[in-house]
Structure 1
């Protein structure tokens, strides 16, 4: 195929870039090194035959909120919602539950209900105009009155470390634990700036769009995007690894790769190369997938209806765990992020479950026992339900997807300095010094998440060029 544009890599950003270019009338060739499309959206039977496990993203709040994906009507993609968006079990009291309804969530927080409505609830009430502003650095910017004022208010709170914000805004163990569990998705030391912003945005999306999963597995979303590309005349080829840019012959090239891969693929100007070499990767994860013979036996049965569960109890315990990871150590009691897709989707061949904890980048430690011990803490007898398990540490994750450098599923450290230069300081960081070559991975704004916005922004820049 003679192509106007070649997209390398089929993660959410690469797929969205390819579809965006094809919808604009460009002849697009999508190349993927793995034998299946999807990157962080891939699903496979890694435990038992017929059990569908998502290798990367499962919860699709960002996909529903994304301006790039909201406008696509993809055939066969059905988002299904669990009864409870997220749960946060505690040792000596009922679990905290996050519902689609912000007021119902607030009622469960007692004295901290008003603070929840004034923070996460207020962001959700601002709706898509505020989310679009946060996810679209290039615009177009919303014109609704008050959006920029709300964004300024979000920014003032969001830049704070969540340890500071939690103690100022919330008075109860429950309220502080809940926002800490949300903020820990950032994979940062919770004493670091911006962690409040990450936590509040995720929490608000639970009220704005929910935290759903794709019926049948995240692979369904990836396959639907490939089908959309092909319906527009594009071509998609799996099992084709691009090692050097010189192999490609097209006026536009969009790369869904992180700086490390780009440095190996291209001869870059010295100054730009040095800037990319300073790009920092964040902590890795150790992930376990299980096939169970029944649901997780949670001590608090309210947790059974949650799609996502945060394990780590109090603000202080979660903050200590994340600080240990940031310092290059393995926490003996790690914060664990767990997803039970069967709470929303019964079509995955049985009770499938996954969880991960954060570890130092490149860690070789086996964290299976530490993770299962944390689950047993809130679900005694959990191990008796396990039929099979599959583990992936940083080395295995990077082998499956080279973008996950050292097991970093976020495409690079999400701290303040790199938030402002991702991957380099530039008003249009998707553009590279090479004519017609653009970056679009989660190492570019707006960062990690199955939203496709890096691809959308890179493709729009390419079309302008």
Structure 2
């Protein structure tokens, strides 16, 4: 017989782990279930070709983890996670050996953008001055008056330009325009759009602020310390156990699901009210990611050597090329030159490489469910800006978009964002509700990236779902502290959710 617990969390991606941290620290008994043998979801790191060289299996660079309210309080650095900052946050190479570079220093970035330097400063400078307000607004959403009204005004003014076609005329040269558009492409959808504009402004200004860091030793380090905190507060993990029905969790008073809407529909097995089930069934998934992990013999031979100092590289060509490719991909049209995002971890973390062996991580945006092996597409995109790259490849592993769902069921059709980033779905994920984490089933909450604020390693979906569960099911209204050595938490949980 299974012993009763206060909370069961299904899925141990960053949001499931964040929920577990909050609930365990609130004094509840918490069990977490993971279908894979290892924890972490998108935060897994493992050797693929050589025992001494580890690859990040999904996410690799973490601007949101460096900035989000959850991780600011959780304090990764105090827990031994060293976030390493490359000299150049991200680069965007262009034909002819040119490249646009987003240095950590705003001043240096502007100095290298020529006539567009002052425009870049006017765009990013005020956002940096109100960065905490901008971050909090994006991560907590428009569910109340913003704590920093100036940040809300700055975002609104800039979205009116860079979330629309007006942005095409903002910069004079190709470099600055490509630099911003490459960040907008992180929204993985049609360009331009208000959702992609918000992503560009958030990540773009963070490149000059808290940065785009890589955890020393790989992304798995973030999952490790979150799991350690949960265990230290009495939480229990069950790995290699796939939950296929909510019936398996009857011993839990409350359930939090770090799953896609598709996954929730399967777990609920017809129990959901018809209107809510229809809303989940209509939930749109975005384009897929088709990934190639490379083991290479030397640093990438970029035509502009400065690109080799960037932790992240966007391969999309000019603004017009990126807009065209991303929009076609969002429509389900496969193109021969997709947008590719590349990470060379050893740029910031030399310990990730061995003599003559170096990990490189790259994925292309492709139509949802595309079964095509991406190796040749991705290699050709890199070769365009780094001639001779193919000669450095020792080995590679390809993951088609259609196969990504097998790795993580939340990535439906390869959509690593767990839902298309349209304006509507940015505001109403996964269905329009005052509390998007609470479902119509008593005591059942969603905490995945399919809920606000959406994709990224920020922990905020899990954090806010956990706060909702604490308030509604246990009568706990004060959030527990997240710092490594919090004060004792005094709330006593109430009865079963709904009692």
TM-score range, shorter chain: over 0.9
Would the alpha carbon gap of residues 287 and 163 (structure 1) be closer, same or farther in structure 2, given more than 3 Å must change? farther
Partner residue, 1:234:
235
- Aligned with 2:74: secondary structure? coil
| C-alpha distance in 2 between matches for 1:238 and 1:140 | 38
Long gaps (5+) in structure 2: 473-499
Partner residue, 1:420:
427
Following TM superposition, by how much is the alpha carbon of 1:3 offset from its aligned partner in structure 2, in angstroms?
A: 1.8
Partner residue, 2:263:
261
- Aligned with 1:25: secondary structure? coil
| C-alpha distance in 2 between matches for 1:160 and 1:138 | 20
> Is the contact between residue 162 and residue 180 of structure 1 (CA under 8 Å) also seen in structure 2?
no
Check if 1:197 corresponds to 2:198: yes
Partner residue, 1:281:
285
- Tell me which of 278, 287, 299 is aligned to 1:295: 299
Partner residue, 2:337:
333
Partner residue, 1:381:
388
Partner residue, 1:65:
67
> Is the contact between residue 48 and residue 388 of structure 1 (CA under 8 Å) also seen in structure 2?
no
Long gaps (5+) in structure 1: none
* Superposition map of 1:81-160 within 5 A: 81-92=85-96, 94-137=98-141, 143=147, 147-158=148-159
- Tell me which of 435, 448, 453 is aligned to 1:446: 453
Partner residue, 1:435:
442
> Is the contact between residue 81 and residue 216 of structure 2 (CA under 8 Å) also seen in structure 1?
yes
> Is the contact between residue 289 and residue 365 of structure 2 (CA under 8 Å) also seen in structure 1?
yes
> Is the contact between residue 448 and residue 461 of structure 2 (CA under 8 Å) also seen in structure 1?
yes
| C-alpha distance in 1 between matches for 2:368 and 2:353 | 33
The two structures have a TM-score, normalised by structure 2, of: 0.90
RMSD: 1.6
| C-alpha distance in 1 between matches for 2:281 and 2:161 | 28
The two structures have a TM-score, normalised by structure 1, of: 0.96
| C-alpha distance in 2 between matches for 1:291 and 1:4 | 45
> Is the contact between residue 261 and residue 281 of structure 2 (CA under 8 Å) also seen in structure 1?
yes
Partner residue, 2:180:
179
| C-alpha distance in 1 between matches for 2:414 and 2:124 | 30
Deviations 1:308-342 (A, max 9, x none): 00112210111111122122111111111111111
Following TM superposition, by how much is the alpha carbon of 1:47 offset from its aligned partner in structure 2, in angstroms?
A: 2.7
Partner residue, 2:402:
395
